[in-house]
Structure 1
Amino acid sequence: MAIDLRSVSLVTTRKHRPARVLDLVRARVDEDESRTDAVPRLERRVADLLGKPAAAMFPTGTMAQQVAMRIHADRRNSNMIAFHPQCHMEVHEHKGYQLVHGLSAVLVGDYHSLITVADLEAIKQPVAALLLELPQRDIGGLLPAWEELVAQVDWTREHGVASHMDGARLWEAQPYYGRSHAEIAALFDSVYVSLYKGLMGISGALLAGDAEFIEHAKIWRNRLGGNTAAAWPMALAGERGLDELLPRMPEFLVRARTLAGMLAGIPGVQVVPEPPQTPLFHVHLAAQPERVLEHAKLLAEKTGLRVFGQVRRSANPMTCSFEITVTEQFDDVTDAEVRDFVGELMLAAG
């Protein structure tokens, strides 16, 4: 469970304040462009980037992924789907896949570890689709080795199971594999990507797959009230992220590893994974979450630096963790400033 720090937001939010985001969107508006141009242009661009025949924009990733799993289930006349115990659909969506779409889930693998082929072999009932999250955010942004990932998708093919990628952070995962987005996406029958996490957009998501799949997805999108005909500001903000931030993902990964190495040298601090596999990693503290909450607020008032948005409880009540994702927001802060913030936090709360 995560505790909201309320007044403590992500590190140096100046780059993502509404006024700046609106300025960035306005700068991309062609005076002669129709408001109906941006969404289909973005859909075609993302489909091409992922090497898929088609893509459809959705207002949220929650809607997009539930629709994807519903279609895969309907295609196979089965209501059983499979995913990791810490999958977003299971933990953060109030059982929408079950209550809205009538699906049931098999939870695959250990709660604190990545899914393995052995975990898939242990499934003893037919499933329509397997969802794999790249990276697995809630266990530190972990990624399977490429060979392991290929083997898992091979398992789905051998068993007649659809493969779907939760690629909310595929943009951040791609540098680890050193392969194109299209080569990674080619493993999967369908792919969801986010416009607002690593790309720092306003909101929105894209679902990509074969043409028939996407036409069916658009019908479900309308059924659920998710028509994006007027979503051009989200599309323009997403394009800005593709143009300006996607090329910087390798840079963000290098910086995340440097920063993680500095934080790991602080007594009472452990970084997971070490080194990070993506610009996202978790920082575990030998301190009670309530004390971390209290002193993080005091430090934010003192320094003006806000390093994280939530602190997560762990099974041990004397420890907790928070997440760092290196993005353009870190342009305004040095690694030493973040290290000093966490070091002082540990001295006060540890």
Structure 2
Amino acid sequence: MDMQKALMEAFGKTQVQLAGHGARDIAVLKRALAEMEDTLAADMYGSGAVIEEFQAEMAEVLGKESSVFFPSGTMAQQIALRIWSDRAGSRSVAYHPLCHLEIHEQDGLKELHHLEPILLGSADRLITLEDVQSMGPGVACLLLELPQREIGGQLPAYVELEAISAYCREQGIKLHLDGARLFEVLPYYGKTAAEVCALFDSVYVSFYKGIGGIAGAILAGSRDFTETSKIWKRRHGGDLISLYPYIVPARYYYRQRIGNMARYYEQTKELAALFNSCHKVSTLPEVPVSNMFHVHFAIAKERLTPVLIELYKETGIGLTPRLKETGEASCYYEMNIGDLYGEADQTALREMFRLLDERLKTL
């Protein structure tokens, strides 16, 4: 059997899986719908209580004048950059080399909107104030991602973030927040969502990552910005006749889990310390700053995979269903913490890490 397939099958048979909130299956929708009144009317093309009340709630949470619910963050962010580009009369926008728009969207920003991204800074580190100050003239908008997922969920110091925001405002450059995981970084910053978002002209947040809904996103900003975004939403085909199957779970799980973000953060630091106690294992960042980090092994993927498979079978605890090769003798995977981690027996978990360390010593 293919070793990748074997790892996935072994992971699927474990009784305890440490990442996330569990399977995003039909039960996610059923639990959310169970809390709803049958008489609540569906939204229609962006109108109706179910969508308008949630948009108003999220605008207040994010400290913005208005917000719009989108079926996807990909759509919302491309639209945000297009609006700022049109208003500035410039095709140039800037973001990190590993920005989602650059590596996961099949060049949608370039092909659909004909924008010209400037890749700012280096792929292996965060964008700095110096990087921003070195941009040439004519940049309409700078996108910052908090946290920067592709490098382990790293974050700039808050004072650095404030300095970048102030510089952009002085230079007339719009600042957009890719806040797909915004709520997850608030415990580290010790700030409210509104305080962080005050540094940005527009904000996107996701409802299926740390919140654990089915799909959907909010794009927030000034009222004239969001009204323009509604026009582009229709142009993109995102103005579905009804979005309530996504809105209802988004609202339900937001209210259920927003108060757990500090707990997820503390548990993430605890788990990272367990990984870092093992031979040939390190996390990026070493001390997490949100509910996520990357687990790096100084071991070839083909040598590590059978070790993990046996560990899963022996302990019933699953770490990951897949590994990504980074070199001839290295691999990694992404870890994020949600409800499932708190359900794990801590004694059994520590025994599993003892066994992992013991076996990695021999590789």
Residue 251 of structure 1: aligned partner: 263
CA RMSD, Structure 1 to Structure 2 (Å): 2.2
Give the distance between the partners of 2:67 and 2:254, measured in 1 at CA: 15
CA shift for structure 1 position 274: 2.0
217, 222, 226: which one pairs with 2:238? 226
Matched, 1:107 2:114: no
Taking a change above 3 Å as real, the CA distance of residues 292 and 226 of structure 1, as seen in their structure-2 partners, is farther
Give the distance between the partners of 1:217 and 1:182, measured in 2 at CA: 20
CA shift for structure 1 position 305: 3.0
Larger Rg: 2
27, 31, 37: which one pairs with 1:20? 27
1:209-232 deviation digits (Å, cap 9, x = unpaired):
111111111111111111144121
Residue 152 of structure 1: aligned partner: 164
Contact kept, 8 Å, 2:98 with 2:123, in 1: the verdict is: yes
185, 197, 205: which one pairs with 1:193? 205
Contact kept, 8 Å, 2:18 with 2:337, in 1: the verdict is: no
SS at the partner of 1:287? coil
Taking a change above 3 Å as real, the CA distance of residues 336 and 308 of structure 1, as seen in their structure-2 partners, is farther
Taking a change above 3 Å as real, the CA distance of residues 73 and 333 of structure 1, as seen in their structure-2 partners, is same
Residue 328 of structure 1: aligned partner: 339
CA shift for structure 1 position 129: 0.4
CA shift for structure 1 position 31: 2.1
Gaps of 5+ in 1: none
1:19-58 deviation digits (Å, cap 9, x = unpaired):
4313312222112211223222221111110011111111
Taking a change above 3 Å as real, the CA distance of residues 138 and 262 of structure 1, as seen in their structure-2 partners, is same
Aligned length: 347
Aligned AA (1:333): A
CA shift for structure 1 position 128: 0.6
Give the distance between the partners of 2:270 and 2:237, measured in 1 at CA: 44
Give the distance between the partners of 1:258 and 1:39, measured in 2 at CA: 38
Give the distance between the partners of 2:234 and 2:352, measured in 1 at CA: 46
Matches within 5 A, 1:42-57: 42-57=54-69
Aligned AA (1:308): T
Matches within 5 A, 1:143-182: 143-182=155-194
Matches within 5 A, 1:110-149: 110-149=122-161
SS at the partner of 1:106? strand
CA shift for structure 1 position 281: 1.0
Taking a change above 3 Å as real, the CA distance of residues 228 and 6 of structure 1, as seen in their structure-2 partners, is farther
Matches within 5 A, 1:334-345: 334-335=345-346, 337-338=348-349, 340-341=351-352, 344=355
Give the distance between the partners of 2:132 and 2:20, measured in 1 at CA: 41
SS at the partner of 2:318? coil
SS at the partner of 1:206? strand
* TM-score where L is the length of structure 2: 0.89
Contact kept, 8 Å, 2:264 with 2:291, in 1: the verdict is: yes
Residue 203 of structure 1: aligned partner: 215
Matched, 1:29 2:40: no
1:71-102 deviation digits (Å, cap 9, x = unpaired):
11011011110001111111111111101110
Give the distance between the partners of 2:51 and 2:308, measured in 1 at CA: 40
Taking a change above 3 Å as real, the CA distance of residues 337 and 87 of structure 1, as seen in their structure-2 partners, is farther
CA shift for structure 1 position 16: 3.1
Gaps of 5+ in 2: 44-48
Give the distance between the partners of 2:309 and 2:62, measured in 1 at CA: 41
Taking a change above 3 Å as real, the CA distance of residues 53 and 269 of structure 1, as seen in their structure-2 partners, is same
Matches within 5 A, 1:258-269: 258-269=270-281
